[in-house]
């Protein structure tokens, strides 16, 4: 049986921070990213692709806001916006991946799944919303939205200030259709799933699925599906080639190989910043704690070069 790899693409792998977000920009970024995944296919891996949606879902929310203000078009709830971004980004990845595979003479089917991810309605994250979404509002605009929609806002720390909506980010506990995802991947199809961390849903007392105004961490959801379907390797593609201790500080140190115990110590010591690397490290640990063989954090263009990337395993590799 082929090795199975789950590859999590960051939202900025498709849309760079200094870009407008045109379809031409996102298409080229997607092609550039996918070119670096082809070696896994050539090495005989079965591949599952997950992706972020931070910049894209933010744009969807702003379009919602403009539509409501200018044309009285009702805003869609956040779960619909996440599903919207899953479909759009999944289509973009699938179409371009089919072209990249064709260019390399590889015959494979690519399947995009709009994926729901179950969270616990009693997750403590619902009492402490911290994930910032959408546009920045003035104090007056925020107060009106609080009164009208019950949204929660936090003040921005940037120089220009303002207020931004915050939503909960609960822990994913189950990915819907995980057996279908595994079967498709094991049959040699490339599967695109848990986009943006998945569409968040919870179960009511009767076991019915209910929408949730929240967002799920993409890396945690990717690690979860990887562990549940017994993937061998888990890759997080980001904008740095390695994880560092004291990143950009006077004692910066590259961390190429880590075991579980040392990684936990670094987390407890605050080595990894909560706003950037710490969540990715937790996802890597979650994968290997639940049976995965190896987690790797690296930069997308360095994926093929095994000398790059921080590799995290339960015990140090020989």
Question: What is the 3 state secondary structure string of 98-131?
Answer: HHHHHHCCCCCCEEECCCEEEECCCCHHHHCCCE
Decide: 196 and 51 in contact? Cβ < 8 Å: yes
> What are the helix and strand counts (H, E) for the chain?
9, 17
Q: Which of 53, 54, 196, 280 is catalytic?
A: 280
Predicted local confidence at residue 159, as pLDDT: 63
Q: Which of 10, 12, 96, 311 is catalytic?
A: 12
Per-residue tokens: 255: 């961390």
**Per-residue confidence band for 21, with pLDDT thresholds at 50, 70 and 90:** confident
Helical axes 260-268 vs 277-289, angle rounded to 10°: 150
The string of pLDDT tens digits covering residues 72-98 is 999 999 999 999 999 999 999 999 999
Decide: 112 and 177 in contact? Cβ < 8 Å: no
92/100 Cα distance (integer angstroms):
12
Spell out the residues 6+ positions from residue 13 whose beta carbon is closer than 8 angstroms to its own.
29, 30, 33, 51, 52, 237, 300
Coil, strand or helix: which one is 237?
Answer: strand
The string of pLDDT tens digits covering residues 151-207 is 999 999 876 789 999 999 999 999 999 999 999 999 999 999 999 999 999 999 999
Q: Is the pLDDT of residue 213 over 70?
A: yes
Per-residue tokens: 223: 């690690």
Nearest to 29 by CA among 100, 86, 101, 84: 100
Is 280 an active-site residue?
yes
Nearest to 61 by CA among 82, 43, 91, 40: 82
Predicted local confidence at residue 15, as pLDDT: 76
Is 195 an active-site residue?
no
244/254 Cα distance (integer angstroms):
5
Q: Is the pLDDT of residue 11 over 70?
A: no
Q: Which of 36, 54, 58, 218 is catalytic?
A: 218
The string of pLDDT tens digits covering residues 28-73 is 989 998 999 999 999 999 999 999 998 889 899 999 999 999 999 9
Delineate the domains of the chain, giving CATH numbers in brackets. 4-120+171-313 (3.40.1160.10), 129-167 (no CATH)
Query: What's the mean pLDDT in 257-283?
Result: 94
Q: Which of 10, 11, 292, 309 is catalytic?
A: 11
Is 72 an active-site residue?
no
Q: Which of 3, 108, 131, 294 is catalytic?
A: 131
């Amino acid at each position: 049986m082929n090795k199975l790899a789950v590859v999590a693409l960051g939202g900025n792998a498709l849309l760079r921070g200094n870009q407008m977000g045109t379809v031409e920009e996102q298409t080229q970024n997607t092609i550039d990213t996918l070119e670096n995944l082809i070696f896994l296919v050539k090495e005989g891996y079965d591949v599952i692709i997950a992706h972020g949606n931070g910049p894209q879902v933010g744009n969807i929310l702003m379009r919602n806001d403009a539509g409501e203000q200018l044309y009285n078009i009702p805003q869609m709830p956040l779960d619909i916006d996440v599903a919207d971004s899953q479909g759009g980004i999944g289509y973009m990845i699938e179409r371009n991946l089919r072209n990249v595979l064709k260019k390399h003479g590889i015959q494979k089917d690519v399947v995009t799944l709009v994926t729901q991810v179950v969270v616990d309605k009693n997750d403590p994250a619902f009492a402490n919303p911290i994930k910032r979404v959408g546009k920045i509002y003035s104090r007056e605009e925020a107060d009106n939205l609080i009164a009208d929609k019950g949204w929660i806002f936090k003040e921005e720390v940037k120089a220009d200030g303002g207020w931004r909506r915050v939503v909960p980010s609960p822990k994913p506990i189950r990915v819907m259709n995980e057996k279908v995802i595994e079967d498709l991947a094991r049959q040699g199809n490339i599967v695109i799933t848990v986009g943006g961390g998945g569409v968040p849903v919870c179960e009511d007392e009767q076991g019915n699925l209910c929408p949730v105004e929240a967002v799920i961490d993409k890396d945690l959801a990717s690690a979860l599906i990887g562990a549940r379907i017994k993937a061998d390797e888990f890759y997080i593609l980001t904008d740095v080639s390695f994880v560092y201790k004291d990143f950009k500080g006077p004692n910066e140190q590259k961390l190429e190989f880590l075991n579980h115990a040392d990684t936990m110590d670094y987390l407890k010591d605050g080595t990894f910043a909560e706003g950037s690397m710490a969540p990715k490290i937790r996802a890597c640990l979650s994968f290997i704690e639940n049976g995965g063989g190896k987690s790797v954090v690296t930069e997308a263009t360095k994926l093929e070069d095994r000398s790059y990337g921080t590799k995290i395993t339960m015990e140090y590799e020989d």
